[in-house]
Amino acid sequence: MSKIKVPRRPRAETPKGFRDYFGAEVTARNAMLARIAAVYHRYGFDPLETSAVETVEALGKFLPDVDRPNEGVFAWQEDDQDWLALRYDLTAPLARVAAQYRNDLPSPYRRYAMGPVWRNEKPGPGRFRQFYQCDADTVGASTVAADAEICAMLADVFEELGLGGDYVVRINNRKVLNGVMEAAGVLDPADPSRFEHERGIVLRAIDKLDRLGEDGVRALLGEGRKDESGDFTKGAGLPASSADVVLAFTAARRDTGMETCARLRELVGGSVIGAEGVAELEEMERLLLAQGYGPDRIVIDPSVVRGLGYYTGPVFEAELTFEILDEKGRKRQFGSVAGGGRYDDLVKRFTGQAVPATGVSIGVDRLLAALHAKGRVEAGAQGPVVVTVMDRARMAEYQAMVGELRRAGIRAEVYLGNPKNFGNQLKYADKRGAPVAVIQGSDEAARGVVQVKDLVLGAKIAENATLEEWKERPAQVEVARADLIATVQAMLQGDA
């Protein structure tokens, strides 16, 4: 007789690279996003929600060159042969919206968006396949006043979140770097595709300056570098004179923005595009200083290269400057939490016409982690008042109590588990973070009273029963049923 095969139970675990968010986390994130949205709103930006799914063709960056376009995105093929994918950021959907509704939207169009994005990449510590972004963009404005406004707004976000003095917004310009590349001999204005491979190595090398130091970057700009493990990374093959130009660029920051721009103008030499980029930085500096955003908040920093292949003009990055301990207990700066810049070619893919655009994206999870590290996260939402159940036959009366509490604006619930063990009901209230428990057995009901237990006060007395300040306040009182709402309100105000 064959043995009956028992079906395997599914594993209760999240897929690799994904995570679950519980009450306090969601509440803290929503509170932070609401404060950011308030800043965006003050600047005249409107909210936009787009579909989580886009056509792969609209996403553009991940156009398929194989049977299944799974490099970087979660994609699938529809019956009509179209490929669809989960959005990998909030900018590509904006480009599609700007093109699709170009006759209906105001120009410039100013929008902000908040929500999850998905990337089909290898997960790692702190690196998830689903994460939240918070973007703000202006589409249709060619003036760098739009870029300066984004930087000012970003600074205001950090001030609003209580991070004043703990951040800096750093600005650079893709055109300036192109000018430096031209001066270093790795950019030919007549043939932009020439030296493309070398420029990629140069960009990556500059981005590693903090980690490798000047000597390590110089090696990557030249023949290459061997790391501590013995692995060799091939370099850009620049002569020493060209490497000097690139390294001088990364060290061009001076005491003031205008002094930095003057040094950059020297480095770009006769490059037309480089001079144009310097002029844009000078204009942004003037605009920001006029609004009171000095180098304590926003600085011109030529070492910013993040995402330069994507951008066409000014780029910016926001860093938090306070120190935290890494996983090995070493002190390090918290680092980048936002980045952005000008991307004038993205909408052009749809319309064939150049449409200027600039924007910034905030890493929501990283920024929230920073607020936790600084103790700037607002206290989580208070748990509900719990009405306990002493007599199942009187459930209607308990529900009536809850209804009254809710109508008074008080968060409340009836205990709906097994009421046999009253201790378990109080344990439940404790796990829910309940500030107050309401108790009414048959004896209290017959006398028209209820017991109201201050769980916050009770916990404080349990911690230190000798505290004089608590002796005046009883942790549990008996009051008339008609006084339930007023008593609970008084307890909640006292605990607050």
Task: Extract the residue ranges of the chain whose pLDDT is less than 70.
Answer: 1-2, 61-71, 307-309, 326-327, 379-381, 462-473, 495-496
Query: 314 - beta bridge partners?
Result: 173
Q: Say whether 180 sits in a helix, a strand or coil.
A: helix
Nearest in space to 49 (alpha carbons), one of 104, 148, 130, 115:
115
What global pTM score does this model have? 0.84
Nearest in space to 299 (alpha carbons), one of 312, 290, 310, 289:
289
Burial of 110 (0-12, 13-18, 19+ CB in 10 A): buried
Tokens of 4: 């009956």
Q: How many helices (H) and strands (E) does the chain have?
A: 18, 18
The span from the CA of 9 to the CA of 4, in Å, is 15
Segment holding 175, helix H or strand E: helix 174-184
Instruction: List, in order of start, the domains of the chain with CATH numbers.
Output: 17-142+344-379 (3.30.930.10), 160-320 (3.30.930.10), 385-495 (3.40.50.800)
Q: What angle do CA 174, 175, 180 make, to 5 degrees?
A: 95
Amino acid at 425: Q
| Cα 77–chain centre separation | 30
Contact 95, 346 (CB under 8 A): yes
**Tokens 């600085």, residue?**
299
How high is the pLDDT of residue 466? 56
Burial of 243 (0-12, 13-18, 19+ CB in 10 A): buried
Q: DSSP E strands: which ranges in 330-429?
A: 331-342, 357-363, 385-387, 412-414
Q: What is the DSSP letter of 310?
A: G
Q: Is the dihedral of CA 59, 175, 215, 254 positive or negative?
A: negative
First to last CA, the chain: 69
How high is the pLDDT of residue 407? 97
Q: Say whether 400 sits in a helix, a strand or coil.
A: helix
CA distances from 176 to 14, 203, 375, 441 (A): 45, 13, 39, 77
CA distances from 455 to 14, 386, 405 (A): 35, 10, 17
Sheet-wide strand order for 331-342: 46-47, 109-118, 130-139, 357-363, 331-342, 314-325, 167-173, 298-300
Q: What is the DSSP letter of 104?
A: T
How high is the pLDDT of residue 63? 42
| Cα 446–chain centre separation | 55
Tokens of 76: 């699938």
Cβ neighbours, 10 Å, residue 254? 14
How high is the pLDDT of residue 64? 41
How high is the pLDDT of residue 397? 96
Q: Which residues are CB-neighbours of 33 under 8 A, at least 6 positions away?
A: 114, 134, 364
Contact 342, 322 (CB under 8 A): no
How high is the pLDDT of residue 118? 93
